[in-house]
Amino acid sequence: MGIALIWCLALIFIKWITSKRRGAISYDSSDQTALYIRMLGDVRVRSRAGFETERRGSHPYIDFRIFHSNSEIEVSVSARNVRRLLSFQRYLRSSRFFRGITVPNSSNILDDDYNGQAKCMLEKVGNWNFDIFLFDRLTNGNSLVSLTFHLFNLHGLIEHFQLDTMKLRRFLVMVQEDYHSQNPYHNAVHAADVTQAMHCYLKEPKLSKSLTPWDVLLSLIAAATHDLDHPGVNQPFLIKTNHYLATLYKNTSVLENHHWRSAVGLLRESGLFAHMSLENRQLMESQIGDLILATDISQQNEYLSMFRSHLDRGDLCLENANHRHFILQMALKCADICNPCRTWELSKQWSEKVTEEFFHQGDIEKKYHLGVSPLCDRQTETIANIQIGFMTYLVEPLFGEWARFSNTRLSQTMLGHLGLNKASWKGVQREQSGSGDDVDPTFEEMDSDILPQEPRLS
């Protein structure tokens, strides 16, 4: 009888929620000033919320469903929402909250969901050699939810901001669900990896003694949502297929703007910060946007130049809120492309995944005669060439300046791995080409505007 009652309650709850949702757009939020961005589809956001209306005008021959298998195409949006609700229901059924038991310490919420090995890994979440792939397996594909919730608790954010743990859990589940698991690289595991890296940077002495709880809160949310609803293709692809997002954002930081607006939608829909003042919520949304927009790889040189100038002048003052925010932008940029700075075992996996995503885009471009984007042609490019160019022209300059700012053991470890990984890819390159100096000139010749958006190559 107990199990039957639970299922009845669960079904009633699902029916009640789905009756208030259409597609993947929230109609039941307490914030009635906007409908919230949920996915690449029919999304409309009222201008009163500060966002323009999204209008669809995609290339008539491009349907993003072609990136997925036929079985995936048949899964409707409503089914996706049911999966999200069921995942939340599974949590409710297993948690002490659902059984009506008082939980004195919010960290105990972890006990019901984490097996022994995953909990042991979280005890070392600040280690640079943290294996996010293993952690994702141990958490049954819930690495982003599990890791981010743990970090919120570890940093004392739940208590400091008086967060409702159930709302926090719901928010994180929705975030994880809105990453596309079909993407080889830009998926929830990448977001979890970036969030773990961001945590490592927040622990660095220069930052840890200066950051406020507000800074940490923004950093973790931005890291977890920085690629939210990524379609698995880059900005040039969206532009040349006349995708409605490219039109909406005027071909500027198209993906980053969409990730940010999607994150804002989930924050509002979850009601996680509904108890805060409107002014603070708007400030939070704006500053999260500043962090996410900084990950636009086409703006790499501008941010790097500003960072280098500050370091040359020695005028960074972390007591200054604006300077702290700028450093957090640089930290998120580092976290986003830190894969070449991980151990070879981890870095190589990321390299293979991002190249697979690039080549998949190239295959689609060939099929529809769109012109293959740089680095996306599997017939002319190799993982080794792409990685060596990426490390040489993007990763090394950024992490060299970060080491100037924070000359710690972690910085030296990252640079050490970067050097070893680059040497390993050069070895692979020599085996493939028979010479040692064939660095792919693509990175040198291409304009930053046509660099694959957020290549996250690593």
The three-state secondary structure class of 22 is strand
DSSP character at residue 392? I
The answer on whether 229 is annotated among ligand-binding residues is: no
Q: Hey, what are 250's tokens?
A: 């005027």
pLDDT digits over 160-182, tens only?
Answer: 999 999 999 999 999 999 999 99
- Per-residue pLDDT at 3: 63
Q: What mean pLDDT do residues 428-456 have?
A: 56
| Contact (CB, 8 A) for 361 and 373 | yes
The three-state secondary structure class of 439 is coil
The 10 Å CB-count burial string (b at 16+, else e) for 91-125 is: bbeebebbeeeeeeebeebeeebbeeebeebbeeb
pLDDT digits over 254-269, tens only?
Answer: 999 999 999 999 999 9
- Per-residue pLDDT at 262: 97
C-alpha atoms less than 13 angstroms from C-alpha of 210 in its C-beta half-sphere? 18
| Contact (CB, 8 A) for 225 and 191 | yes
Helix axes 254-270, 165-177, angle to 10 degrees: 150
DSSP character at residue 156? T
Residue 128: phi, psi to the nearest 5?
-70, -25
Is 186 one of the catalytic residues? yes
**21-22 and 25-26 beta bridge pairing:** antiparallel
The answer on whether 329 is annotated among ligand-binding residues is: no
The answer on whether 190 is annotated among ligand-binding residues is: yes
- Per-residue pLDDT at 257: 98
| Contact (CB, 8 A) for 269 and 24 | no
Q: What mean pLDDT do residues 414-425 have?
A: 98
- Examine the pLDDT at 232 and tell me if it is beyond 80: yes
| Contact (CB, 8 A) for 409 and 416 | no
The pLDDT-based confidence of 129 (bands split at 50, 70, 90) is very high
pTM of the model: 0.77
Greater model confidence, 84 or 352: 352
- Per-residue pLDDT at 181: 96
H/E stretch holding 426: helix 409-433
pLDDT digits over 274-294, tens only?
Answer: 999 999 999 999 999 999 999
pLDDT digits over 311-357, tens only?
Answer: 999 999 999 999 999 999 999 999 999 999 999 999 999 999 999 99
Rounded Cα distance, 181 and 161, in Å: 31
Domain boundaries, the chain: 120-450
The answer on whether 227 is annotated among ligand-binding residues is: yes
Q: What mean pLDDT do residues 72-89 have?
A: 47
Rounded Cα distance, 455 and 458, in Å: 9
| Contact (CB, 8 A) for 339 and 387 | no
Q: Rg (Cα) of the chain, in Å, rounded?
A: 22
- Chain mean pLDDT for the chain: 81
pLDDT digits over 148-161, tens only?
Answer: 999 999 999 999 99
- Per-residue pLDDT at 424: 98
- Per-residue pLDDT at 116: 85
pLDDT digits over 350-384, tens only?
Answer: 999 999 999 999 999 999 999 999 999 999 999 99
> Among 418, 380, 413, which Cα is nearest to 398's?
418
The answer on whether 183 is annotated among ligand-binding residues is: no
The CATH homologous superfamily of the domain defined by 120-450: 3'5'-cyclic nucleotide phosphodiesterase, catalytic domain (1.10.1300.10)
Q: What mean pLDDT do residues 101-115 have?
A: 47
From the list 150, 186, 310, 360, the catalytic residue is 186
Q: What mean pLDDT do residues 412-417 have?
A: 98
- Per-residue pLDDT at 1: 58
| Contact (CB, 8 A) for 332 and 219 | yes
Greater model confidence, 21 or 401: 401
| Contact (CB, 8 A) for 201 and 271 | no
pLDDT digits over 34-77, tens only?
Answer: 322 232 233 333 333 445 434 444 444 455 555 544 444 444 44
The pLDDT-based confidence of 19 (bands split at 50, 70, 90) is very low
